[in-house]
Structure 1
Amino acid sequence: MAEVLLKNVSKSFGADIALDDVTMTIPDGAFVVLLGPTGAGKTTTLRLISGLEKLDQGEISIGGRVVNEETPAQRDVAMVFQQYSLYPHLSVRDNLAFPLRSPMLKTPEAEIERKIAEVASVLQISDKLDNKATKLSGGEMQRVSIGRALVRNPSIYLMDEPLSSLDAKLRTELRVELKRIQATLGATLLYVTHDQIEAMTMATHVGVLNHGRLVQFGSPREIYENPNSVYVASRLGLPRINILPAELFGLTGNGAAQIGMRPEQIRQGSGQPAEVIRVEHLGDQTRLHLKLQGYDITTLVDPHVTYDVGSNISIEPNDPLFFDDSGNRIF
C-alpha cells in the first residue's frame, strides 16, 4: 500500500470545472471517503488518480512517485465501479483470476488459486466459484467485482459507489465486510459515495467536495462535530442538521445569522413552544417533526414517551453551531 498525494489538481470538461485546485493527502493504510452531491467532483478524482483522465494542472504522486505521465496499468491501482463490470462468459473463478493473469503481473497459477480461495472465503462466495457470472444475484456479482480488486495487492483501491445498487441488507453486510477487509489488509482505500452512513461507519478520513473544491478534510467525528460551513454540516448526520435563523432563539450576539442544531442538540421542556407535526417511532428512538414559527425542526426524544400530533413541546438549543449569513462557521 502507499500514500497518495494530490497537489493543486484541477480538471475541466469544456466550460465545466470538475476539480478546482484540490490538494489532499490520502495516508498509507487509510480508508478515505469522498462525500458530495452529484457533480461535486468525486468520480473525477478517482479517474484522475487511476489515470483514466488526464490532469489539466497539478501533480499526483503514489508512494512518493509522480504518476502524471503514467498509464493506468503503470500506476498499480485497483478500481471497483458502481456497475459490476464482470465478464459474463467466464466463471466466478476466472473472473477473479483475470487481473492476476495479466502480462504485467504474471502470477503463478498456484498463487492465483491461493488468492482466489482466500478472497472467496472472505466474501462468502466459495460455493459460487464454478458458476457463470450471469447465474449470480446482484449482491453476489458485486462481491465478485470487489473480489477482483482484492486479489491484487495494489498501491491503492479506488471504489466508486460500489454498494449503491444493492438492497439495504446487503449494503449493511458489505459495509462491515469492506471495513474489516481494509483494516485486516492495511489497505489504502479511496471510496466515493453520497451515502453519509457509509462515510460515518467506514471512513478513517472524510473529504467533502463542493463544486470541485475540497472544502473540508478530517475524521468523520471532526466533520460531524466541527463542520466549517452549513454545506459541510449538512453532509453528515441523519436526521439532517436543523439550520434556522439565529434570531429565532435570540442568539445573534456573536454576529451569527444562522444556527445549526443537530437533532440531539435540542433540549426539550423549556424554551419556545413548537407544534408536533409528525411522530416517527423507530424502536430505539423516536423522531419528532416540529413546526416553530413556520420553520421545520426535527429532534430526537425518549422512545418510551408518547407525543400527540398537534400538541406543543417547548424546545431550546443545546450547544448549537453558529454560522454567518454566507453559511461559514463562526467558531
Structure 2
Amino acid sequence: MAEVTLEGISKAFGKTQAVSDITMTIADGAFVVLLGPTGAGKTTTLRLISGLEKLDKGQITIGGRNVGTETPAQRDVAMVFQQYSLYPHMTVRDNLAFPLRSPILKTPEAEVTEKVRRIAEVLQIPHKLDNKATELSGGEMQRVSIGRALVRDPSIYLMDEPLSSLDAKLRADLRVELKRIHADLGSTLLYVTHDQIEAMTMATHIGVLEEGRLVQYGTPREVYENPASIYVASRLGSPRINVLPSDLFAGSHKGPLIGLRPENIREGSEGVEARVIRSEHLGDQTRLHLELRGHAITTVIDAHEDYTADTTIKISPQAPLYFSADGARIF
C-alpha cells in the first residue's frame, strides 16, 4: 500500500469544469470516501488517479512517485466499477485469477492458486469457485468483481459506486464486508459514492465534493458535527438538517440562519410552539414532522412517544449550527 497525494488537480471536458483544483492526501491504509451528488466530480477524480483521464493541471503522486507520465497499468492501482465486469464464460476461480495471469504480473501458478483461495475465503465464496459467473446472484457477482481487485496487491484500490446496483439488504451486508476486508488487509482505499450511509459507516475520512471542488475533508464525525457550509451539512444525516431563520427562536444568534440536526431539537415545557403535521414510527425512533410559522421541521423523539396531527408542542434548539446568508458556516 502507499500514500496517494493530489496536488491542485483539475480536469475540464470542453466548457465543463469536472474537477477544479483538488488537493488531498489519502494516507497509507486509509479508507477515504468521496461523497457528492451526480456531477460533483467523484468519478473523474478516480479516473485521473487511475490514469484513465489525463490531468489538465496539477500533480498526482503514489508512494512518493509522480505518476503523471505513467500508463494506467504502470500506476499499480486496482479498480472496481459499478458494473460487475466479469467474464461470463469463466468460472469464479478463473475470473479471480485473471488479473494475476496478466503479462505484466506474470504470477507463478502456485501463487495464483493460493491468492485466489485466500480472497475467496475473505469474500466468503470458496464454495462458488467452480461456478460460472452467470450462475451467481447479483451480490455474489459483485463480491467476485471486488475480489478481482483484491487478489492483487496494488498501491491503492479505487472503487466507483460498487454497491449502487444492489438491493438494500445486499448493500448493507457488503458494506460490513468491505469494512472488514479493509481492516483485515490494511489496504489503502478510495471509494466513490453519493450514499451518505456508505460514507458514514465505512470511511476513515470523507471528502465532500461540490461542482468539482473539494469543500471539506475530515473524519466522518468531524464532517457531521462541524460542517463548513449548509451544502456539506445537508450531505450527511438522515433526516436532513433543518435550516431555518434564526429569529424563529428567542435569544441572540451568531448568524441569520440556524442549522438544527433532528436529534438537536428539544421538546419540552419551554420554547416556541410548533404544530405536529404527522409522525412516522420507525421502530427504534419516531420522526415528527412539524410546522413552525410556515417552516417545515423534522425532529426525532423516543419510539414510545406519540403525537397526533395538529397537536401543539414546544421546541427549543440544542447545539445549533449557524450559517451566513450565502450558506457558509459561522464558527
TM-score interval (norm. to shorter): over 0.9
Shift of 1:245: 1.0
What is aligned with 2:22?
A: 22
**Amino-acid identity (%):** 73
Partner residue, 1:118: 118
**In 2, Cα distance between the equivalents of 1:306 and 1:182?**
42
Give, in whole Å, the separation in 1 of the partners of 2:252 and 2:75.
52
Deviates more, 1:282-291 or 1:44-53: 282-291
The Cα of 1:253 is off from its aligned counterpart by: 3.9
Which residue number corresponds to residue 67 of structure 2? Answer: 67
Q: Which residue of 2 aligns with 1:89?
A: 89
Indicate the residue corresponding to 2:263 in structure 1: 264
Provide the rounded CA distance (Å) in 2 between the counterparts of 1:12 and 1:250: 48
RMSD: 0.9
**Structure 1 residues 251 and 140: CA distance shift in structure 2, 3 A:** farther
Distance in structure 1 (CA, Å) of the matches to 2:306 and 2:27: 48
> Is 2:197 the counterpart of 1:161?
no
Could you list the runs of 4 or more consecutive aligned residues of structure 1 that deviate by over 2 angstroms after TM superposition?
A: 250-254
Residue type of the alignment partner of 1:272: V
Gaps of 5+ in 2: none
Give matches, 1:172-251, under 5 Å: 172-250=172-250
Q: Which residue of 1 aligns with 2:287?
A: 287
Distance 1:25 1:251, change over 3 A: farther
Judge conservation of contact 2:277–2:290 (CA < 8 Å) in 1. Answer: yes
Amino acid at match of 1:87: Y
Kindly provide the amino acid, as one letter, of the partner of residue 91 in structure 2: S
Correspondence for 2:306 = 306
Q: Give the Å deviation of 1:137.
A: 1.0
SS in 2 for 1:72: coil
Q: Deviations over 1:162-196 (max 9, x none)?
A: 01111111111111110111111110000000111
Equivalent position of 1:151 in the other structure: 151
Per the normalisation by structure 2, the TM-score is 0.98
1:53 is matched by which residue type in structure 2? E
| 2-structure distance, mates of 1:316, 1:253 | 13
Q: What is the DSSP-based 3-state SS (H/G/I as helix, E as strand, rest coil) of the residue aligned with 1:145?
A: helix
**In structure 1, what is the Cα distance between the partners aligned to 2:232 and 2:251?**
21
Q: How many residues align?
A: 330
- Hey, what's the Cα distance between the residues in 1 that align with 2:20 and 2:275? 44
Find the residue that maps to 1:301 and give its secondary structure.
Answer: strand
SS of the residue corresponding to residue 74 of structure 1 reads coil
Cα shift at 1:113: 0.9
C-alpha distance in structure 2 between counterparts of 1:18 and 1:300, whole Å? 37
Q: 2:102 is matched with which residue?
A: 102
TM superposition score normalised by structure 1: 0.98
Offset, 1:252 = 5.7
The amino acid across from 1:224 in the alignment is: Y
Contact residue 246 and residue 253 of structure 2 kept, 8 A: no
CA distance in 1, matches of 2:122, 2:298: 40
Letter of the 1:151 partner, please give it.
Answer: V
Residues 2-17 of structure 1 aligned to structure 2 (within 5 Å): 2-17=2-17
Matching residue's letter, 1:216? Q
- In structure 1, the residue matched to 2:127 is 127
Give the Cα separation in 2 of the matches to 1:252 and 1:112: 67
